[in-house]
Structure 1
Amino acid sequence: FFIVQVDFDSEFAPFLSEQEIIDINDDISGLANSLAVGSDDLFEVVFRFADWVERNIEYNLSSVTSDAAQKSSWVFNNRYGVCDELTSLFISLCRSVGIPARFISGISHTDVDYFAEKWGPHGWAEVYFPIVGWVPFDVTYRQFGWVDATHIKLQVSSDSTPSSVDFNAVGRGFNIKGGDFDSSVDVLSVGPLKELLVSLNFEVSERKVGFGSFNLLSVDLTNNQNHYLTVPLQLAPTTNIENYDDRFRNVLLSPGETKKEFFIVQVDFDLDKNYAYTFPLKLFIGNKTFLAFFKVDRNGDVFDFDYFNSQVPKQEAVYQPLQGSCVADKNSLYLGESLVVSCSFQNIDDDVLRWVNICLEQECHNKHFSLGETYDFEFTKNISVVGVKNLAVTLSNEDFQVSKYLLIYSLDEPLVSISDLKFPETISFKDLADVSFVVSQESFSNPKSVQVSIVHKQFSHSWNISDLSSKKVFSLSIPGRVLSSGVNKFSLITTFKDDFGKDYSLAEEFSISLEGVTFGQKVLIFFNQLSLKLEGMFGV
């Protein structure tokens, strides 16, 4: 089982936790655990997630998924969705084992006849690899670890929300109505097609067979590069030939690796015995085509399925003699607090398991498991740094390793800042005082129930903020006609709470002078301010 044993900075938190659409449940976590078993290679584990989604989730443009984005858990249960939903489930699998992944919104090109416009909105993922950075994965297009030049990246987000644009405004007597998304792409130049980065040999086992015979096709692939490659193979359908394997394959090749893929096919029984046949077989890799041939006639040898199936290497199951789970009594805590990790594992093997080393990071102890024994144990852990931490519980001896991970958020007290405050020092009765400022989150922990207010003795205006993970710019135009003659003092107040409901506040003062006010304007100011008090609000 694979675990990313990295302590991530706070900036990765949104890309490690579940969201409204990109959710995580026991089914998704269980699948991620089972797919990752036996590998300690990060790229291989991420490839397994992408390959599973591409092979098991049907791309389906039904109205259920096209009108509103469905949760990852819904896609897992129903086994279909559109590009956003396939991508969401892939991201959920990554995050469920502590691998940062984020959602990319953009535009891409398609040749699918269903779409009238060949360029349109599309969603794919980026996965974080330490040292390397963010690497693209498009499970819809079968592009794992890369995307082609038609992918135009527009937005990065932690969730697959139905809308990438939010509208807001301050004022009275108007409505905002958003229009439909419209995009236009002009291709300025087209370069030559890329050469294959792999060497390939495509051949058949038997050059001649009889009617109804099976045959074996083999593909030898060699990665000629010093980096990972994913190769999408597609065996074309052939008339009078039945395929006994998946015609579509996603093959992972490590740097310099050579790998062999096999396809078993069968010739139809009811061919005309007065003819001899030559069957062409086509293998596609991207825009490249490879051909192989074999002959069929009534005098050819007839091979059964088992003859060739026995020649195909079988992937050995990973030895996992222990079954169990681990939970923490809390998934987030403040610095200085401790958490308790409780685990329960059962020996499901038919033998005694000796010298099993049980560890949470550097804290370890040994245990012998008798037949069928269930063992419950706990670890107490203190977290000393702020951020996101993967805690790995491992049970291993010289024959196996079983691991469970826990994603823990170590929090500091919420902290915000007010910066870049701009305002005019003086205005006249007919002027507008344009006030703007920036509110930012300065802590790893997220401030809750954030409210930002500009307060004057005669009026006030407030904004409620649901998410302060990125800087928020605020602006307000204050008419001179509602201010008092002379110096007007303002308080810029930000209030917020922590996860436990504790209140925090931050305040900053500034002043604007209203100058050159006539007697008639003072009368108007009096009635304007009275009106504001009666309305109980401030409008522009």
Structure 2
Amino acid sequence: MNKHYLPAILILIALIPLSSAQEDFLNTRKADLDINISSSITLAPSSSDYSVDYILADLSFFPREDDRQKITELITSPEAQTIGNSLRYRWENDFSSLGFSASSELETKNIFNKITRKIEFPIESLPEEIIPYTLPSDNIDSNETDIITLSSFLAEGEDDLYIVVNKLANWVEDNVEYSLDTLTAEVSQKASWVLNKREGVCDELTSLFIAMARSLGIPGKYISGMAYTNWKGLNDFGPHAWAEIYFPGYGWVPFDITYNQLGFIDLSHIKLKESIDSDEPSIEYEWKGTDIDIETQNLDIKTKILNKEGKIEPQVSIKAKAIKSSIGFGSYNLIEAEITNLKNFYFTTGLSISKTKELEVAGKREKNVALKPNEKKKVYWIIELKPGLDSKYTYTFPIQIYSIRNTTSETSFTSSVDEPIFTYKEINSLKEDMEEEAVKKYSKEVDLNCTTEKAEYYAYENPEYYAYENPEIDCRIRNLGNVFLKDLKLCLEKDCHTINLGISQIRIISFDTNFSSPGKKELKVIAKNDQISKAAYLKFTALDKPNIIINDIEFPTNVLFNQGFSINFKLEKHSLSNPEDIEVRLNQGGLIKSWNIDELHNDQKFIIDLEGKILNEGENSFEILVEYKDKNNLNYNTTEEFSITLEDVTLIQKLQIMLNRLAQRIEGWLG
């Protein structure tokens, strides 16, 4: 008697699902599928007088029934007998045709294993028949020290089984790279090998995930079958592997690391085999005879969709928000997605942030969010706006957050050259503060509000201050809850005050400020102790002193009495703040010319046309005087002086100059 095994159908590929097809399979209620599995045997005699008594083929790779998968028809050819978990094909007497097949029609449903309550971790007891799925096996070597250490680290301090399993799945997805290098391998690699190399295909990632679960006493089952994929443009069904995790009181729950489907699988997944280890064969051969061997072919599997119908309702809602509504060029920003579980059972969904030109995401675009029944949770992405945009424009950047089932939410923010620039460190600190506030549940029982005199008195949303003002910030903190808050530290940067805050009590804490550079600012005041973490943000614009420089003065050194000439100069704005209530005067003896400007936004050029006859003989001194104010009516001024010589004056011209001066004096006397 001889035996032959065909190992796990073929090496299972790390299939990446087609996005549109995946969405369709995820949102459709049910599908009818047809799958045909076939192969053949060839006799290989070693002599001419060989003989064959019988040949057996035990196929363990065919559709299985469970809550989500129902077999409506199964036809075998030749007719097979069900032996345990296999279909047995038997040939006796007639060995002329040794092909065999199993054709099935089945229905798959988009259902969820509705875990409605917390299951304690570690698991205290399991049914006897489940115990084998907690033990190490050949490829799923869960007794390896590195696997035990990592899994224990990830689960440390967590007492919710669903959350623990999701942490394990997320670690594998985030840290093990899909690699096609192992596609030519004859057998699947061990879980410990995958952990060490940090690479593998779908069966190997699944083995590692199951090994990590088993190392914590969590039962894990290896599932192999078919699923829809677009790998290498296939856009068809292909071999695939995923896991099932046992939850006491609820049964086996699917987790597909490759497809990012945690706690569920889509309609395209067809379960064909359940096993303890990934190296179990999909078909076994046995034959008896003399001088005879057999040659076998790989299983040929063809799958097609017969029908899809119905839609499932959304499981979650999403609300996106840009934490900073306006930022400068080259700044970082924080994008928040508040996701709500609309159902009364645990649910995990993948979230992604859209790709937008000029924006880079720090870290992964995709995140998995495990939600308890009806839970709300906030997820964050740090993004960077590239520098070098055109300073003449204000830009609007749309952002979309979407789930694996294409539930979407949109937000946006603007950017211009004069908006504040936030560093990665500042935005990451903001993210950590918001996450800490969410963890410390009592934080919502504390109200913290900070303001300045101008903001409060004038109801300014973004008050302006000059450097010399050093505005004082007043922070009002109130305990709205029923817990005494001890050793509560309020800090503005390194300036900290420690207080105790009783129930219903209000305290006002003041901080002094100073700043060295102008621009739009945002100050953070944070209140923190072991029970709470609460932050308040105050926006204002820091103004430098207004500054005008008189520049580019152009004038002739010498002029004649009957000669016209021009004096040119430019007022240059050398400050971020705008000078206001500006008076420009050109003084020369009794001659005064003046101009008034309400506010100087940009540089301004002056061209003054004069005649030589208004000058005195010889050297004439000129003064350009500019007086202006800031928003607080503080006075500033600047001057520039120069001289022009009137030459070659005749006797008659001298007499006319004297008459001009006399007329100016009389005009002055008369007011």
How many residues in Structure 1 have an aligned counterpart in Structure 2?
Answer: 316
Matching of residue 296 in structure 1 with residue 415 in structure 2: yes
Per the alignment, residue 239 of structure 1 pairs with: 357
Match of 1:448 in 2: none
Which residue is equivalent to 1:173? 291
Partner of 2:134: 16
Does the 8 Å contact 1:65/1:81 carry over to 2?
Answer: no
Tell me how far 1:32 sits from its aligned partner: 1.0
Amino acid at match of 1:292: T
Aligned equivalent of 1:187, options 305, 313, 325: 305
For each residue in 1:151-179, what CA deviation from the matched residue of structure 2 results, as whole angstroms up to 9, or x when unmatched? 00011000001742222222223222221
Is 1:156 the counterpart of 2:287? The answer is no
Distance of aligned partners of 1:65 and 1:137 in 2 relative to their CA distance in 1, 3 Å threshold: farther
Q: How does 1:36-435 map to 2 (within 5 A)?
A: 36-63=155-182, 67-112=186-231, 114-116=232-234, 118-161=236-279, 163-288=281-406, 289-313=408-432
> For structure 1, which runs of at least 5 residues remain unmatched after alignment?
319-398, 400-540
Measured after TM superposition, the shift of residue 230 of structure 1 is: 0.4
Q: TM-score, normalised by structure 1?
A: 0.56
Matched-pair contact (CA < 8 Å) for 1:58–1:80: yes
Distance 1:117 1:209 in 2: 42
Cα offsets for 1:323-344 (capped at 9, x unmatched)? xxxxxxxxxxxxxxxxxxxxxx
Q: Deviations over 1:256-279 (max 9, x none)?
A: 111111111111112232333222
Aligned partner of 2:286: which letter?
A: N
Displacement of 1:192 in angstroms is: 4.4
Q: Do the aligned partners of 1:54 and 1:139 also contact (CA within 8 Å) in 2?
A: yes
Q: Is the 8 A contact 1:22 1:89 kept in 2?
A: yes
Secondary structure, aligned partner of 1:168: strand
Partner Cα distance (1:21, 1:307) in 2: 45
More relative contact order, 1 or 2 (CA 8 Å, 6+ apart): 2
The residue number in structure 2 matching 1:28 is: 147
Q: CA deviation at 1:295?
A: 1.7
Secondary structure at the residue paired with 1:166?
strand
- How far 1:302 moved relative to its partner? 1.9
Overall identity of the aligned pairs, in %: 40
Mark the CA change 1:244 to 1:20 in structure 2 (over 3 Å): closer, same or farther.
Answer: same
Tell whether the 8 Å contact from 2:126 to 2:248 is kept in structure 1 after alignment. Answer: no
SS in 1 for 2:388: coil
Whether the 8 Å contact between 2:343 and 2:373 is mirrored in structure 1 is: yes
1:2 and 1:36 in contact (8 A); partners too:
no
Given that residues 179 and 200 in structure 2 are in contact (C-alpha distance below 8 angstroms), is that contact kept between their aligned partners in structure 1? yes
SS in 1 for 2:146: helix
Q: Is the 1:66–1:82 contact (alpha carbons within 8 Å) kept by the matching residues of 2?
A: no
The alpha-carbon deviation at position 300 of structure 1 amounts to 2.4
Paired amino acid for 1:71 = K
CA distance in 1, matches of 2:182, 2:150: 27
Distance in 2, Cα, partners of 1:195 & 1:313: 34
CA distance in 1, matches of 2:331, 2:162: 39
Q: How far apart are 1:62 and its partner, in Å?
A: 1.5
RMSD of aligned alpha carbons? 2.2
Per-residue Cα deviation, 1:79-106 (whole angstroms, up to 9, x for no partner): 0101100000000011111111110010
Q: Secondary structure at the match of 1:169?
A: strand
Cα distance in structure 2, aligned partners of 1:276 and 1:159: 59
2:182 and 2:200 in contact (8 A); partners too: no
Q: Which TM-score applies when normalising by structure 2?
A: 0.45
Name the SS for the 1:218 alignment partner.
strand
Please tell me the residue identity of whatever aligns with 1:81: G
Distance in 1 separating the partners of 2:170 and 2:311:
25
Task: Return the alpha-carbon distance in structure 1 between the equivalents of residues 418 and 192 of structure 2.
Answer: 55
The letter of the residue matching 2:355 is P
